[in-house]
Amino acid sequence: MLKQVFQNANSVLITSHLGPDYDAYASSLLTYGILKENFPHLKLNIVLESNAHIQNVSDLRYFENIELGNLPQNVTKYNPEIVIFLDLNQYSGYSKDLQQLRESLKDKITINIDHHLQGDTDFTYQIREKRYACVDVLYQQLIVKEGLKIYQGYENTYLTGLIHDSLRFYYSSSNVRESFNTVADILESGYTIRDISDKVFGISKDDLKIISLFTQNIGYDFDNRYGYSYISDEVYTSEVEGKIPQGKYKMAKRYFLDEIFLKVEEIDFCLVVYPSMVVSGEYEVSIRSKNSTIDCIMFCQHFNGGGHITGGGFTINGNSSKEVLDMLVGYINLDMHKYRING
């Protein structure tokens, strides 16, 4: 289906969501590499609307082709025939200026490829499968189903996206046998899960600093089986702002949630609130849950966010991170039963 679309086009712009994670980077670069290998006539650009790169992605092939900047402005600048949206199924998650983005997309072919099933339905083409990661959907669609050639050096990129978004295969998913067949082929060529895992989930002094700041404010509601924490605005200004890169800030938060907070006590889920590095007065919220407890996607969608069934996030305006946390705790205590998987 998409093969013919690319054959008939001259230019493609590839993008992924705000606050790009490892799967967002990997999906963008995997798409770039596959299109470059199979359609050399295409003019290709990758644009991510972000202020800084996350850590440990510069070793991925074609990384040097990624541009950071305002997405609508770059769509207007490059004027591509096709815009590919990866790893998120809602336009609102790709740019801070949704109206300008939609205006820039007039008369464009839009393609959405994602591993979440629900979302906006007005993309020209939608390729959505429930899989561990967007890189897996891409590989199955373009390489397995449409018969395109894979490029040399794709293995590191594919594994980086897959291992990150699956949390090292922490939770169950659909089509796992197909995913593991691809992984087996890569491992037989000499790659290891540990090498990629250490890159994606390794920690640094900056990570330890962020983890310690979240640890200071941990609280629990054992009756409702959850935990919460935050970084205060005052501490953010004195300890984080201008001292720790955005990529480190976000990745340390992920490590704290995935590897520490959710495992310390007998709880079903945990969430954190922290000041945004991008927009003053805006706060980022991230949530993680154990399997078959809380549907994080549904919870985050209530606040115009998204994610996976065991993890997600959103941004919200407020006067302080503590105020936002108190509001969320009140909402959880009142309505969290709506998002429990088993009632």
Q: Alpha-carbon distance 313 to 246, whole Å?
A: 16
The 10 Å CB-count burial string (b at 16+, else e) for 51-71 is eebbbbbeebbbbeebeeebb
- pTM value is 0.79
Q: What is residue 303's predicted lDDT score, i.e. its pLDDT?
A: 92
Please report which confidence band the pLDDT of residue 116 belongs to, taking 50, 70 and 90 as the band edges. Answer: confident
Domain match, 42 and 178 both: yes
- Residue 309 has which token pair? 């069934």
Question: What per-residue confidence (pLDDT) applies to 312?
Answer: 86
Helix axis angle, 154-165 to 193-201, nearest 10° = 60
Are 33 and 171 members of one domain? yes
Q: Are residues 72 and 187 in the same domain?
A: yes
Between 172 and 136, where is the model more confident? Answer: 136
The CA–CA distances, whole Å, from 173 to 75, 178, 343 equal 34, 11, 21
311 pLDDT higher than 90: no
pLDDT tens string 288-309: 998 779 999 889 989 988 777 8
pLDDT tens profile 271-288: 999 999 878 899 999 999
- pLDDT of 121 reads 93
Number of folded domains in the chain? Answer: 2
Would you state the pLDDT for residue 328?
96
Q: Are residues 221 and 310 in the same domain?
A: yes
Are residues 152 and 281 located together in one domain of the fold?
A: no
Q: Which residue has the higher pLDDT, 112 or 89?
A: 112
pLDDT at 266: 92
Indicate the residue among 172, 200, 228 that finishes a domain: 200
307 in the same domain as 223: yes
Regarding whether 97 and 16 lie in a shared domain, the answer is yes
Sheet of 109-114: strands edge to edge? 66-68, 43-48, 11-16, 82-86, 109-114, 125-128
pLDDT in tens, 31-62: 999 999 999 999 999 999 987 788 789 999 99
- Predicted confidence at residue 184, as pLDDT, reads 95
Confidence of residue 180 (pLDDT cuts 50, 70, 90): very high
Those residues whose C-beta lies under 8 Å from the C-beta of residue 220, and which sit 6 or more positions away, are 226, 227, 228, 265, 267
Looking at residue 343, its pLDDT comes to 59
pLDDT at 102: 96
Q: Which domain holds residue 179?
A: 2-200
Q: Which residue has the higher pLDDT, 234 or 246?
A: 234
Is 190 in the same domain as 67? Answer: yes
Q: What does the pLDDT average to over 88-117? A: 93
Rounded to an integer, the average pLDDT of 181-208 is 90
Percent of the chain with pLDDT over 90: 72
Q: What's the pLDDT at 69?
A: 95
- The whole-number pLDDT of residue 291 equals 78
What local confidence, expressed as pLDDT, does residue 259 receive?
Answer: 86
Contact 271, 228 (CB under 8 A): yes
Q: Tell me which of 168, 200, 232 is where a domain ends.
A: 200
Indicate whether 106 and 60 sit together in one domain: yes
Contact 117, 88 (CB under 8 A): no
Question: Which of 200, 216, 233 represents a domain boundary (last residue)?
Answer: 200
- Average pLDDT score over the chain: 92
Give pLDDT, residue 75: 98
Shared-domain flag, residues 40 and 106: yes
Q: Is there a contact between 98 and 91 (Cβ–Cβ < 8 Å)?
A: yes
Looking at 66-75, 80-89, 200-209, 232-241, which range is the least confident one?
Answer: 200-209
| CATH value at residue 101 | 3.90.1640.10
